[in-house]
């Protein structure tokens, strides 16, 4: 059983930064961050493979967000810079137990999910 606990969300002004953390229990898997804005579907933001050497990003966050992981601490991070009001959403951490080298952008590939953390960016 994998448990994921996100933290680090909050209220920030446009142009500001936040760092989200996801503490994971259990085995090491490929990990991803997704977000869901009110009235919208949950969408992929960023993902990393088990070693952290391979990362992928949604076009909307490329160059502004960075995903990283510390396997010694079983923690995955999402550093978010140059935030805009369009980044406002609940952010979810997720684990993909199937893929190894390929980092999936597909929600269905992620079997384990955290409870989410709210990020609000004011204009």
| Rg of the chain over all Cα atoms, to the nearest angstrom | 13
Q: Report the pLDDT value the prediction gives residue 20, as an integer from 0 to 100.
A: 98
Q: Residue 99: what pLDDT?
A: 92
Question: pLDDT value at position 26?
Answer: 83
Quick one: pLDDT band at residue 1, thresholds 50, 70, 90?
Answer: confident
Kindly indicate the confidence band of residue 27, based on its pLDDT and cuts at 50, 70 and 90: confident
The pLDDT assigned to 28 comes to: 87
35 secondary structure, DSSP code: E
The predicted-structure confidence for 80-116, as pLDDT tens digits, reads as follows 999 999 999 999 999 999 998 899 999 999 999 999 9
Neighbours of 23 (CB within 10 A): 15
Beta bridge partners of 79: 19, 66
- How does pLDDT run across 61-84, given as a tens digit for each residue? 999 999 999 999 999 999 999 999
Structure tokens at 22: 């996801």
Per residue in 41-66, pLDDT tens?
999 999 999 999 999 999 999 999 99
């Amino acid at each position: 059983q994998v448990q994921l606990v996100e933290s680090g969300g909050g209220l920030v002004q446009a142009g500001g930064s936040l760092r989200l953390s996801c503490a994971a229990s259990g085995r090491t898997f490929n990990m991803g961050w997704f977000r869901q804005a009110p009235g919208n579907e949950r969408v992929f933001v960023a993902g990393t493979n088990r070693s952290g050497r391979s990362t992928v990003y949604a076009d909307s966050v490329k160059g502004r967000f960075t995903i990283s992981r510390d396997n010694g601490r079983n923690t995955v991070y999402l550093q978010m810079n140059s935030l805009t009001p369009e980044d406002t959403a609940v952010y979810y951490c997720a684990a993909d137990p199937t893929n190894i080298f390929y980092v999936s952008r597909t929600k269905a590939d992620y079997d384990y999910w955290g409870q989410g953390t709210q990020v609000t960016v004011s204009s």
